[in-house]
Amino acid sequence: MSKIEARLAELGLTLPPASAPIANYVPFTITGKVVYISGQVPRNKAGAIWPVGQLGAGVSVEEGQAAAQLCFLSIIAHAKAAAGGDLDKIARVLRLTGYVNSATGFGEQPAVINGASDCAVAVFGEAGRHARSAVGVAALPGGAAVEVEAILELV
Amino acid sequence: MSKIEARLAELGLTLPPASAPIANYVPFTITGKVVYISGQVPRNKAGAIWPVGQLGAGVSVEEGQAAAQLCFLSIIAHAKAAAGGDLDKIARVLRLTGYVNSATGFGEQPAVINGASDCAVAVFGEAGRHARSAVGVAALPGGAAVEVEAILELV
Amino acid sequence: MSKIEARLAELGLTLPPASAPIANYVPFTITGKVVYISGQVPRNKAGAIWPVGQLGAGVSVEEGQAAAQLCFLSIIAHAKAAAGGDLDKIARVLRLTGYVNSATGFGEQPAVINGASDCAVAVFGEAGRHARSAVGVAALPGGAAVEVEAILELV
């Protein structure tokens, strides 16, 4: 078992299926050692988007953090595919962009996206520390509360 | 005629002029084989931004898709310049980010941005398949309904 | 004194402290010659986020431009750290993404983000010309009026 897979198990984290989008785009592309991962929305065990709604208007910061973690687990699932099935081939998380479905006036996007950032460091250690932007958007696909995209580096 | 130019003609698609922004930024930059293309808003034949307004509040999904296709045609026009005039030198569309001017509660950003993604694959084939994020924003330059930015790879 | 430091002094611009985020992310990451800088919000001399609020609903375009310049000065501060303390090692500003906290219907995001773009060219000259996207978001961290992120190239 790879070091990162062992770490996921230790943390009690399960990767979702790395399902392909039903459209003319793909979960990831690679140029050189850089991997671009498509924006991920949070999904529950049944595969449905969850949570739905806006931060600052019904969805709590804690739910938003759980959502951001779910997004990052989907990112890891696609990263594994991008790395040929071996997560130990991920050298670094280079950047995360976190889009938070936000009511006007809500300003805690950083706290919400920490759900993804903390998961990155819990799983990848120092290699999980990344550049980041967190912004508040008006709406997201399927009403998702959060969307996170990533740029990673392969070894 | 290049393979991609022939494909554009076959699809009946015409590239807009690759006009430079009137500001201290440029349509594209290149590092190594990677090209960053500035965010493009949709423009009609007369060069005016069209459509203007929000999805979920007046602008239909079909109009949004047409807008996303117009954005992608502008991306191709700048890509051609970035590739020294030869579109066959575009190796891959690496990533698109699609910003959809969205009323709160509108959640069909993926369907809207398919207007760009479908165009990418129609024109570039397998090389047009890209990583993607689609988000709903509160407002866009000049009231544009859609804005799309791109990262491409040169051969 | 480096050429760029001299230029900053000539322009009367002072870099803010390149303080690290209090979270599991970092101000920048580097892959090859490419530097990803985290999204920066504008801060006044006291370190507080300023201006707070929305363009099109209280914050003027001029204040937004000042905010965008402050964001870009923070980007330079982190770029200096990324370049080992020598700003002359920055080869190029590759891309800026400018997020403008916007009321629905506000469409002057390009004018606002020119506050960052003009600063980039004033400081770095031709090397400061960059690809750019400017979008209007519903909300930003701490209520900031503007957030700007950057991708740079090292020599």
A133 contacts chain B (CB < 8 A):
no
The mean pLDDT of C103-128, rounded to a whole number, is 97
Q: Using CB atoms, which residue from A34, A108, A131 is nearest to C38?
A: A131
Share of chain C residues as helix, strand and coil, in percent rounded to the nearest 5 = 35, 35, 30
Q: Answer yes or no: do B25 and C107 touch at CB < 8 A.
A: no
pLDDT the model gives residue B89: 97
Q: Using CB atoms, which residue from A21, A36, A138 is nearest to B104?
A: A138
pLDDT tier at C122, thresholds 50, 70, 90 = very high
Q: Which chains have 3 or more CB–CB distances shorter than 8 Å to chain C?
A: A, B
pLDDT tier at A21, thresholds 50, 70, 90 = confident
Tens digit of pLDDT for each residue in C51-94?
Answer: 999 999 999 999 999 999 999 999 999 999 999 999 999 999 99
Residue pairs between chains A and C whose CB atoms are closer than 8 Å: 96
The mean pLDDT of B141-155, rounded to a whole number, is 98
pLDDT tier at B23, thresholds 50, 70, 90 = confident
The mean pLDDT of C135-145, rounded to a whole number, is 98
Pick from B130, B135, B149 the residue to mutate for testing the A interface (most A CBs within 10 Å): B135
Report how far residue A87's alpha carbon sits from residue A75's, in angstroms, rounded to the nearest whole number.
11
Distance from CA of A124 to the nearest CA of C (A): 11
Q: Which residues from C are below 8 Å from A34, CB to CB?
A: 31, 34
Q: Answer yes or no: do A32 and C32 touch at CB < 8 A.
A: yes
Return the beta strands (E) in chain C as ranges.
28-31, 34-40, 54-55, 58-59, 90-101, 131-137, 146-154
Mean pLDDT of chain C, nearest integer:
96
Pick from B24, B95, B135 the residue to mutate for testing the C interface (most C CBs within 10 Å): B24
Taking residue B2's Cβ as centre, other Cβ atoms within 10 Å add up to: 15
Does residue A76 carry a pLDDT above 90? yes
pLDDT the model gives residue B37: 98
Q: Are C116 and C71 in contact (CB under 8 A)?
A: yes
Q: Using CB atoms, which residue from B21, B137, B139 is nearest to C105?
A: B139
- Lowest mean per-residue pLDDT among A44-48, A103-107, B99-103: A44-48
pLDDT tier at C23, thresholds 50, 70, 90 = confident
A42 contacts chain B (CB < 8 A):
no
pLDDT tier at A84, thresholds 50, 70, 90 = very high
Does residue C22 carry a pLDDT above 80? no
Q: Is C114 exposed, middle or buried (0-12, 13-18, 19+ CB in 10 A)?
A: buried
The mean pLDDT of C120-146, rounded to a whole number, is 97
Tokens representing A152 are 């990673």
C115 contacts chain B (CB < 8 A):
no
Pick from A22, A24, A109, A146 the residue to mutate for testing the B interface (most B CBs within 10 Å): A24
Q: Answer yes or no: do A23 and B95 touch at CB < 8 A.
A: no
- In order of A145, A147, B76, B139, the CA distances from B135 in angstroms are 11, 8, 22, 12
C134 contacts chain B (CB < 8 A):
yes
Helices (H), B19-151: 61-82, 109-124
Q: Which chains have 3 or more CB–CB distances shorter than 8 Å to chain B?
A: A, C
Q: What residue of C is the nearest CA neighbor of A139? A: C138
The mean pLDDT of B50-71, rounded to a whole number, is 98
Q: Using CB atoms, which residue from A32, A39, A138 is nearest to B133?
A: A39
Q: Residue B42: which of B58, B53, B30, B57 has the closest Cα?
A: B53
- Lowest mean per-residue pLDDT among A33-42, C8-17, C136-145: C8-17
Tokens representing B41 are 């808003």
Report how far residue A35's alpha carbon sits from residue A28's, in angstroms, rounded to the nearest whole number.
7
Which amino acid, one-letter code, is at C67?
A
The mean pLDDT of C127-135, rounded to a whole number, is 98
The mean pLDDT of C46-50, rounded to a whole number, is 93
Q: Which strand (E) or helix (H) includes residue A113?
A: helix A109-124
- Lowest mean per-residue pLDDT among A12-26, A76-90, B38-52: A12-26
Does residue A20 carry a pLDDT above 80? no
Domains and their CATH numbers in chain B: 3-13+25-154 (3.30.1330.40)
Q: What residue of A is the nearest CA neighbor of C147? A: A135
Tokens representing B4 are 């991609």
pLDDT the model gives residue A79: 97
C37 contacts chain A (CB < 8 A):
yes
Which amino acid, one-letter code, is at B32?
G
pTM above 0.90, yes or no: yes
Q: What is the ipTM of this complex?
A: 0.96
Q: Answer yes or no: do C128 and B24 touch at CB < 8 A.
A: yes
Pick from C114, C133, C153 the residue to mutate for testing the B interface (most B CBs within 10 Å): C133
